[in-house]
């Protein structure tokens, strides 16, 4: 075989394979389509350009019947990040304290991998999380707004990292309405523009992460907890961006967070929700998120009732 013929064959094969890959990921209208292998439902979840997620039984004539679809998930999980709002209200209505532990960047895929590898024994001891959808684009501000309002970006109006007030009430507003107290423990910046009492933290010991300070602050708060407390850990996402979501560095940090969560749970009596905002995919030497992919769009939700 001549060298030229070999190169032409190789290029043709690569073109064919890349075409096949693209084809697998698109529906007949050319929309990105994710098939969930587990498949809890028989329908579809359609993500639309205006920031909504619409469940539907059929995707026939989707371009005519939906407001600008941008992607489809076939057999989507039943749960979605907006469920956290309702679950929190339910706990408050039953006069139980509620704690939301928010592990930034922990997608369902890596959560499962970490469980199987024995990296997160505390989370594992709580049983398998519900697989849930997050909103699009799967980035912190957008998903966080949907988590605390129970509505998709179409209604939160948060579609990017641009900081602006939410036009609809959050669970913190709902708590205040019910005469209940709430607090949010954060890193060094406020992500949401919201009235909630926010405790900001800095990397006091300069060890490269604020989560140890956030953890210490959470333990202090738990001595006399508000009715609703949300603790937002960022380090897994940070390490994932720098080293890759499945890197030793990121997984080691995830195991540190698991030990924080274990100790927090020991010191708390109330309902607990452990969840995330989005996943993360490999990109170059590190990680990124914001794409229409199962890796970025599926998150775990763990609910532990008192």
Which residues lie near Zn ion (CB under 5 A)?
104, 140, 237, 277
CB of 51 to Zn ion, least distance (A): 17
Determine the residue with CB nearest Zn ion: 140
- 212 versus 237: smaller Cβ distance to Zn ion: 237
CB of 60 to Zn ion, least distance (A): 35
CB of 305 to Zn ion, least distance (A): 26
- 92 versus 297: smaller Cβ distance to Zn ion: 297
Q: Where are the beta strands (DSSP E) in the chain?
A: 33-35, 44-48, 53-56, 69-74, 79-80, 98-103, 130-133, 182-185, 197-199, 228-233, 271-275, 281-283, 286-288, 298-304
Nearest to 195 by CA among 212, 176, 210: 176
- 170 versus 276: smaller Cβ distance to Zn ion: 276
CB of 169 to Zn ion, least distance (A): 22
CB of 14 to Zn ion, least distance (A): 32
- 104 versus 296: smaller Cβ distance to Zn ion: 104
Radius of gyration from C-alpha coordinates of the chain: 21
| Alpha-carbon torsion, ordered 106, 181, 127, 277, to 10 deg | -20
Q: Distance of CA 282 to CAs 37, 147, 247, 289, Å?
A: 20, 25, 10, 9
- 44 versus 109: smaller Cβ distance to Zn ion: 109
């Amino acid at each position: 075989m001549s060298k030229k013929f070999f190169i032409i064959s190789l290029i043709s094969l690569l073109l064919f394979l890349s075409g096949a890959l693209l084809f697998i990921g698109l529906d007949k209208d050319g929309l990105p389509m994710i098939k969930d292998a587990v498949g809890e439902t028989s329908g579809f979840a359609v993500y639309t350009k205006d920031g909504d997620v619409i469940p539907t039984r059929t995707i026939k004539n989707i371009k005519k019947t939906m407001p600008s679809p941008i992607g489809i998930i076939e057999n989507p999980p039943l749960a979605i990040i907006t469920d956290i709002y309702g679950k929190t209200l339910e706990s408050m209505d039953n006069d139980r304290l509620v704690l939301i532990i928010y592990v930034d960047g922990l997608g369902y895929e890596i959560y499962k991998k970490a469980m199987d590898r024995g990296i997160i024994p505390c989370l594992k001891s709580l049983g398998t999380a519900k697989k849930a959808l997050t909103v699009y684009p799967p980035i912190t501000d957008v998903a966080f707004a949907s988590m605390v309002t129970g509505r998709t970006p179409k209604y939160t109006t948060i579609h990017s990292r641009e900081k602006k007030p939410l036009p609809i009430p959050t669970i913190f507003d709902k708590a205040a309405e019910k005469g209940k107290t709430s607090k949010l423990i954060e890193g060094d910046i406020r992500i949401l523009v919201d009235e909630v009492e926010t405790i900001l933290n800095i990397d006091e010991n300069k060890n490269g992460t604020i989560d140890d300070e956030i953890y210490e602050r959470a333990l202090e708060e738990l001595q006399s907890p508000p009715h609703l407390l949300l603790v937002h850990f960022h380090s897994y996402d940070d390490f994932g961006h720098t080293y890759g979501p499945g890197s030793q560095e990121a997984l080691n940090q995830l195991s540190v967070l698991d030990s924080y969560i274990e100790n927090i749970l020991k010191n708390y009596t109330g309902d607990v929700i452990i969840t995330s905002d989005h996943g993360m995919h490999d990109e170059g030497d590190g990680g990124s998120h914001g794409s229409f992919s199962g890796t970025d769009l599926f998150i775990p939700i763990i609910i532990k009732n008192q």
